[in-house]
């Protein structure tokens, strides 16, 4: 039986695990964006915190993923369900690109433009939402794109703690020494990552060229 | 007749006053003991080299900075007592190359202050059209982005944006500095004509003596954070002050038969 035949024979399970995978990676990226983007904004306002926050997010990234999943198991409530635990671990990994890109994006806005806005009497909030965030949106979406691709890849490891997703096939295939089974997890995961990268890449280019129409 | 004293006192309060104002940062004095005032309808040109304190002076007016000693008053009220947002919305600010928001159309750029002041939509639209006409631009530029305009057009939009809510005070920082000489001279002429009609209190920062002589009612020459002279434009070229002489000389090197004869 070749790989395609295996996929066809198990299409219902492939589909279920792919959906589970999307839920894990998508949910984690969404949560990470809800935390990471405001944190990125915060450290442009309170620069004293930037070293701490960026450093912390950096350190999390250096923890081996399998170890991080393990560390989190004793956590109350979170540890009770494998999917919660997997999402939390993925959120922690996705934070760095989101925080860093939000911070870098806002910092890269032309200071002359920001000062013009301030001098015209924009409040801090107006400056943020009408000037800084729109001008930084291309860079921020680039961060979301990195975080998404990262999460889709890492979510395969979530199967190690029983959180499901396409990693199930990969780990099962490894145990069975069966390449078809491994590929049934790896190929859809890779396609998913490429597809997300493509979509977000288009959005990023559109936002990045918002003001460069000519 | 009872209104007259009241009316006079209102006229006598200068729009902008510096009262022994200094600004230091990290022990370095960027501006020292500046005393200067600008009345409504008057154009004061701040002339000086880069680093002479001109831009610092402007930032003290719209409270981007607060003086570390002395006082700066706008309409008789200390800037430290003004609500900074209100203060800034009553001062038009023009910078080099316009400082336009690259992600806003021309229309949104010009309409920014009226919009955040919640003017009705129809009034904002009408005001944008009116301003485009005032700065000599065609209405169909309204939907373009700044990157689709020439430098001169951007600068005109910058002026239009500063005038949008009809502020009584206008401050311009090297406003025409990035323009080619022909466009620059056009803008100077138009700005002078505009000011003759508008009678705002204007502070115009430049390092170009010719621009200063052309636009100013008064010229204040600054050097290293100090005010050197503050003279009517007509008297400026006759001042014996060595720094004024140095300026006059630096700008007289161009072929201008009258000046060459005067020098010999």
Shortest distance, CA A56 to any CA of chain B (angstroms): 31
- Identify whether the C-beta of residue B37 lies closer than 8 Å to the C-beta of residue B213: no
Give the pLDDT confidence of A42-82 residue by residue, as tens digits: 999 999 999 999 999 999 989 888 888 878 878 777 777 88
Q: Cβ separation of A212 and B62 shorter than 8 Å? A: no
Give the pLDDT confidence of A69-116 residue by residue, as tens digits: 878 878 777 777 888 889 999 999 999 999 999 999 999 999 989 999
Query: Best interface-test mutation with B: which of A109, A121, A127, A139 has the largest number of B CBs within 10 A?
Result: A121
Predicted confidence (pLDDT) at residue A136 exceeds the cutoff of 80: yes
**DSSP state string for B163-206:** HTT--SEEEEESTTTTS-HHHHHHHHHHHHHHHHHH--EEEEEE
pLDDT at B8: 47
Separation between Cα atoms, residue A86 and residue A167, nearest integer Å:
12
Reading phi first (left if > 0) and then psi (alpha if -120 to 50, else beta), residue B231 is in beta
Give the pLDDT confidence of B232-260 residue by residue, as tens digits: 999 998 999 999 999 888 888 655 444 44
pLDDT at A201: 93
Predicted confidence (pLDDT) at residue B264 exceeds the cutoff of 50: no
pLDDT at A54: 94
Q: How many CB pairs under 8 A join A and B?
A: 60
Residue of A nearest to B143 (CA): A213
Predicted confidence (pLDDT) at residue A209 exceeds the cutoff of 80: no
- Tell me which residues of chain B have a C-beta less than 8 Å from any C-beta of chain A: 62, 64, 84-89, 91, 93, 95, 99-103, 112-113, 116, 145-148, 161
Residues of B in contact with A111 (CB under 8 A): none
Q: How confident is the model at residue B5 (pLDDT cuts 50, 70, 90)?
A: very low
Q: How confident is the model at residue A2 (pLDDT cuts 50, 70, 90)?
A: confident
Predicted confidence (pLDDT) at residue B43 exceeds the cutoff of 70: yes
pLDDT at B96: 83
Residue of A nearest to B158 (CA): A116
Separation between Cα atoms, residue B184 and residue A207, nearest integer Å:
34
Mean pLDDT (chain A) is 91
Q: Cβ separation of B147 and A122 shorter than 8 Å? A: no
Residues of A in contact with B108 (CB under 8 A): none
B156: its two tokens:
């005109």
Q: pTM, whole model, 2 decimals?
A: 0.84
């Amino acid at each position: 039986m070749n790989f395609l035949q295996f996929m066809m024979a198990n299409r219902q399970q492939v589909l279920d695990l792919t959906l589970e995978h999307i839920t894990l990676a998508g949910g984690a990226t969404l949560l990470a964006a809800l935390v990471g983007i405001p944190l990125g904004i915060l450290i442009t306002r309170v620069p004293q915190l930037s070293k701490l926050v960026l450093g912390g997010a950096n350190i999390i990234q250096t923890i081996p993923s399998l170890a991080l999943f393990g560390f989190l198991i004793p956590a109350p409530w979170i540890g009770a369900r494998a999917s919660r635990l997997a999402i939390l671990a993925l959120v922690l990994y996705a934070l760095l690109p989101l925080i860093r890109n939000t911070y870098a994006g806002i910092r890269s806005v032309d200071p002359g433009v920001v000062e013009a806005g301030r001098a015209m009497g924009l409040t801090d909030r107006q400056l943020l939402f009408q000037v800084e965030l729109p001008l930084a949106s291309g860079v921020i979406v680039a961060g979301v794109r990195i975080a998404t691709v990262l999460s889709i890849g890492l979510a395969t490891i979530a199967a190690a703690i029983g959180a499901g997703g396409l990693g199930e096939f990969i780990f099962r295939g490894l145990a069975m020494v069966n390449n078809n089974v491994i590929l049934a997890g790896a190929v859809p995961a890779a396609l998913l990552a490429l597809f997300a990268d493509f979509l977000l890449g288009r959005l990023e280019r559109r936002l990045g060229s918002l003001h460069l129409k000519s | 007749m009872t209104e007259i004293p009241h009316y006079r006192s209102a006229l006598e309060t200068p729009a902008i006053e510096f009262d022994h104002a200094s600004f230091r940062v990290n022990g370095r004095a960027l501006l020292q003991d500046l005393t200067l005032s600008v009345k409504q309808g008057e154009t004061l040109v701040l002339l000086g080299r880069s680093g002479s304190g001109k831009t610092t002076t402007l930032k003290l007016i719209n409270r981007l900075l607060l003086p570390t000693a002395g006082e700066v008053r706008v309409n008789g009220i200390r800037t430290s007592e003004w609500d900074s947002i209100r203060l800034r919305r009553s001062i038009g600010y023009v910078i080099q190359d316009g400082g336009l928001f690259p992600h806003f159309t021309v229309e949104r750029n010009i309409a920014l202050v009226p919009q955040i002041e919640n003017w009705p939509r129809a009034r904002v639209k009408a005001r944008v059209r009116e301003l485009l006409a005032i700065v000599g631009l065609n209405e169909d530029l309204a939907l373009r982005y700044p990157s689709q305009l020439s430098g001169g057009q951007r600068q005109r939009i910058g002026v239009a944006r500063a005038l949008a809510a009809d502020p009584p005070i206008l401050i311009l920082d090297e406003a025409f500095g990035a323009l080619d000489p022909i466009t620059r001279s056009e803008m100077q002429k138009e700005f002078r004509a505009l000011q003759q009609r508008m009678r705002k209190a204007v502070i115009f920062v430049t390092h170009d003596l010719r621009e200063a002589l052309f636009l100013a009612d008064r010229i204040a020459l600054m050097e290293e954070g100090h005010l050197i002279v503050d003279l009517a434009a007509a008297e400026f070229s006759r001042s014996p002050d060595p720094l004024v002489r140095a300026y006059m000389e630096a700008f007289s090197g161009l072929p201008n038969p009258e000046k060459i004869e005067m020098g010999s």
